[in-house]
Every structure is written in structure tokens, then in C-alpha cells.
Amino acid sequence: MHRTRDIRVRASDGTVLLTDHWHADGAGGDTVLIRTPYGRDGIGGVALFLAARGHHVVVQSCRGTFGSAGAFDPLHDEAADGQSTLRWLRAQPWATGRVHSWGGSYFGVTQWAYCDGDDRPDAMGIAISARRFDDAILYPGGGFSIDTPLTWAYALDIQERALPSRIGALVRARWALRRGALAVPPADAVRVARGADPQFFRDWVEHSDAGDPWWRPMHFAQDVDTIPPVTLVAGWQDLFLVGQLADHAALHEAGRPVRLIVGDWVHGAPEITVIGVREALRSFPETAPPTGARMEVTGGGGWRDLESWPPPHTRLSAELTADGRLDRSGDAHPAGALSYRYDPGDPTPDAGGRTLNPFSAGRRVQRRREQRADVLVFTDEPLREDLLLMGTPEVALALTSSNPRVDLFVRLCEVDAKGVSRTLTDGYRRLSAEVSEDGSGRIRLELAPLAHRVAAGSRLRVQVSSGAHPLHLRNPGTEDPVRDHSRLIPSEQTLRLGGDAPALLTLPAVTTTPRQTPSASPAVHRDVPR
């Protein structure tokens, strides 16, 4: 096995990008291109695995990271630097075959950026990432998902420091991130947590308004006709889930070759790398890449092969009632209301969710959250038989507030036979004109998609609240709720129920079972790097 280190590839502005080339004796002409800000050694296992199977593998450090010159300004240079790298790669005498790009998270962002230039890979393998970084993970629902960018900034600041410094920072990380998320103003979050003050984080706070033109150059691959065949690997508990499924829908509707795989993974789970590498190898032949979707049904439902996502389903409705029930009978219920007080000085906690923060990511027990007075809880009767859900749940409700500047957070949970409540999915929106004191507004909120088998004997539960901090930055109740935390204004919320304003949960119920694969998970080679 050969590894040529620190090849000096020049970007269009002359910046030197350090690059490694892996290959075995007798390697063919196909190449895998990986661009990463996290260090070339960290991806060495994947590079070795692919090179041992006859491919050239090119691993490059993004500018400003791990020896590459310049400054790392997330997203801003990836399109231009990616084009420079592709031109260099195509000119190499050993690169005579197809070029396949691979990687997840920010590695995936560097791939979407290729699509905005004249040269593109012949195929892409993108895991846990999305074309629009801002909409997908920074401002979903119109607020600021501070937990993820704060965690990322913390990790970036320590990744190239000496080992003792990194270990100390990791030991302090849980409490440091918690302090940073409560910083006033929020732009100081990284400084409070870590003592660093990266400009990109301040930029993201400053440019948090919907439709801010500052983001337009970083909305990659918006012309779907420029996108080569792509395999998307997503996770039900991953922060990019909603954005990545939106990307899949756009490509599928446009007739582009796209394959979707979704497992029950949080961001960075090792299974994502295993399956992503395997799918990359499947995409090398000149024949058309595989399409369709392969989904892991959580709750013990196994893996299912689908022609497309979502599969055909029926809409099953359940009503939230004033006595705290989630009723699927279809009976009418008298008008009523339930109220709660939201206090940004004691923000409603997230208790898990789709975040980068490893201390809180994923499905968490909801007992403490559901005991809070600022969370309304509605629970179904035990199911008599299994219920298979595959698609996008939705809630429709009427909410009034003493302050129209308020958030709505709805979480769907499963309560097992022992009474333990765990997250299935949730949805969030920062409200303004939709909420008014006269109660005229009715809100429809989509929750994140899911594929889940609710076991017989379990119950469904819905939480309604006005916060999930720091998954979504607490709303101070001011006119500028992302940047202005000079005042923390409590508010009173009232949820109207029954009568002519029923609050409804609509579920995507699948009655025709999609084809289930025999294995518990997608088959992987035993020697795939983990």
C-alpha cells in the first residue's frame, strides 16, 4: 500500500491545500475524493479500505485545517476549492476512470459544493448532510438551533490542540456547552463555553433572519440538473434528517438517480461510515446506480425496501382533549382549554433530540420534561395491535399567547408497557403573526418524518410546549429573539381544545407492509473500517 503525504494542490487563489494520495500496486483508474476539515489521518481507515480494493483515494484537508494554508471560513471556499481539486485530480496520469466523492456531515457539504462548478464527480455518496446548511441545521422552524453550532465550534477549536489540552476540554465539555447556550447575548456563546470567539459563529447569529441574502452563495446544488447520481445515507436521530429527506424528495421528483438509506442513527454513528463506504463501492460500475429507498423501521420493525419514500399510507387522526387524552375514537369533544406559562429565565429543556451535542442527542427518557408545568401532555390508550408509522406526522391546533413572539414545540413519544416515555419525533416553529390574543390563528406543524413500529400494549403521547432549549435557542419574547436577550419576558399560552377548534394529531399509518429484508440490518463486509 502506498500513501503519498502532503501533496501541495493549489486553489484558484494560490492557497496550498495539503492532500494525500492512497493506492495499491496495480490500482485501476477509478478515484475516491474526500475533502475534510477534520484531518486526513482521521479518515485513514476508510482510505486504506478503499485503496486495498483497487481504487485511488485522494484525501484533502480543507483550507485552514491540518496543514492547509489560509483560514477556515465554513462553507465560503468549498465551491472554488473543490473545483481546483477536481481539475488537479483529472490531470493526474493515474486518474483515468470515474471519480466518486464520498463523506458525511461537512464532508457532504464539500460534495454538494462541487455541483456549482463546471466539473463534478461522476457519482457522490453523501451521508448526514444537506444542500442548504442554514435551513437544515441552523434555523429550522425559524429559530436558532444553538446546541449544534455551539458544539461544532467547541470541537473545531480543540481538534488541532495537544492531546492533554483536548482531553481537558472534553472533560469540561458538558458543563461548558450548557453555560454557553445560556450566554447573553447568544453571540457570546462560544466565548463563554470555550474562551474562543470564531467569527463564523457570530456571522451565523447575525444572519439568522429568514431569507438573508448573505446565505445565497452557500445554498449549494440548487439546480438539481447539475447533480450527478447520488446515494444519501441519513439517520432518524440525525440533525440533518429533515433537510436530507427534502433533498431526496427534490431529486426524486426531478427524476434524478438517487438512492436513500435511513437507519436509526445519531450524527456520527459508526454504522453510517460502514454503510456509506459499502454503498460507495456499489456505485463505481458504469451501469446506472441503484435507486429506491431502504429504511430501518425503529421499534424492532427491521429493514424495509421501498420503491420510494414515503410509502403509500393512510392518515390516522387522534384528538388532544382537555382532560389530557389522545383520543383516536373520532368522537366529538366539548370545547375546553389548557394553559401554561413559559419563562425564558427557566427555559423548557429539550430532553434529547436531533443535535450534534453527544451529551443530549438521540432518544431520551422524557419523565423529567413531562413533569414540568410548562409542558402539556396528552396520552393514548394502550394499543391493541402493532401500529406501523412511515411518513410525516402533523399537528393542527389553535394557540393563544400573551406575547405573539413565542415558540411552539410538539413532540411525539411512545410510552412502553412499563410507563417509560421516549422520543419518536418532534417539530418546532418560531411564531409571530400566527399567534394572537384573540385566538384567531390555527397552526399546522409538521413533525420530522419517522418509520416506527409502535408495539401493541404501548401508548402514544404528545407533548405541547413553547421551548426545547438548547436544541432550539430559548425565545426571550423580544422583537429580535435570536440577537436580543436584554430582557427575558415570560408569557402565558392557552391551547384551545375540542368544540369547533379541535387540536388534532395526524399520523401516517401503513397498512400494507413494505417488503422486509431478511437481515436485521444492511449486509456489510466484515472488514469494512469501523
Tens-digit pLDDT profile for the chain (530 aa)? Answer: 899 999 999 999 999 999 999 999 988 889 999 999 999 999 999 999 999 989 999 999 999 999 999 999 999 999 999 999 999 999 999 998 899 999 999 999 999 999 998 999 999 999 999 999 999 999 999 999 999 999 999 999 999 999 999 999 999 999 999 999 999 999 999 999 999 999 999 999 999 998 899 999 999 999 999 999 999 999 999 999 999 999 999 999 999 999 999 999 999 898 888 887 887 777 666 655 667 899 999 999 999 999 889 999 999 999 999 999 999 988 889 999 999 999 999 999 999 999 999 999 999 999 999 999 999 999 999 999 999 999 999 999 999 999 988 999 999 999 999 999 999 999 999 997 666 555 556 899 999 999 999 999 999 999 999 999 999 999 999 999 999 999 999 999 999 999 888 999 999 999 866 566 554 444 433 233 33
Where do we find the cell 383516536? 328
Amino acid making up residue 81? D
Q: How far is C-alpha 441 from the geometric centre of its chain's CA atoms?
A: 29
Position 521 scores a pLDDT of: 46
- Angstrom CA distances, 350 to 305, 355, 359, 430, stand at 33, 10, 12, 15
Is the pTM of the predicted complex or chain greater than 0.85?
yes
Residue 154, judged by CB atoms within 10 A of its CB (0-12, 13-18, 19+), counts as: buried
Position 500 scores a pLDDT of: 86
Classify residue 214 by its DSSP letter.
G
Q: Cα–Cα distance between 145 and 87 in angstroms, integer?
A: 37
Where do we find the cell 464520498? 102
Amino acid making up residue 456? A
Q: Cα–Cα distance between 26 and 237 in angstroms, integer?
A: 41
- Buried residues in 342-376 as b, exposed as e (16+ CB within 10 A): bbbeebbbbbbbbbbbbebbbbbebeebbebebbb
Q: Cα–Cα distance between 497 and 501 in angstroms, integer?
A: 6
Q: Cα–Cα distance between 301 and 132 in angstroms, integer?
A: 31
Q: Cα–Cα distance between 150 and 128 in angstroms, integer?
A: 18
Q: Cα–Cα distance between 473 and 344 in angstroms, integer?
A: 10
